[in-house]
Amino acid sequence: MAGEPQDDCLFCRIVEGHVPATIVRETETTVAFRDINPQAPTHVLVIPKAHYPDAAALAAAEPTLAADVLREARSVADEDKLESYRIVFNTGAGAGQTVWHVHAHVLGGRGLQWPPG
Tens-place pLDDT, residues 70-105: 999 999 999 999 999 999 999 999 999 999 999 999
Residue 67 CB contacts under 8 Å (≥ 6 apart), including other chains: none
**102 in a domain, yes or no?**
yes
Which pLDDT does position 117 carry in this prediction? 63
CATH of the domain at 98: 3.30.428.10
pLDDT band at 40 (very low <50, low <70, confident <90, very high): very high
Q: Is the pLDDT of residue 1 over 90?
A: no
In a domain, residue 26? The reply is yes
The residues carrying an active-site annotation are: 103
pLDDT tens digit sequence for 44-60: 999 999 999 999 999 99
Inside any domain, residue 116: no
pLDDT of residue 37: 95
Q: Which residue has the higher pLDDT, 4 or 61?
A: 61
The mean-pLDDT minimum among 1-5, 32-36, 38-42, 60-64 falls in 1-5
Q: Please give the residue range of the domain that contains residue 62.
A: 10-108
Q: Which pTM does this prediction carry?
A: 0.94
Read off the pLDDT band of 116 (50, 70, 90): confident
35 inside domain: yes
Total number of domains in the chain: 1
Strands lying side by side in the sheet with 42-48: 23-26, 30-34, 42-48, 104-108, 85-88
Rounded distance, CA 98 to CA 85, Å? 22
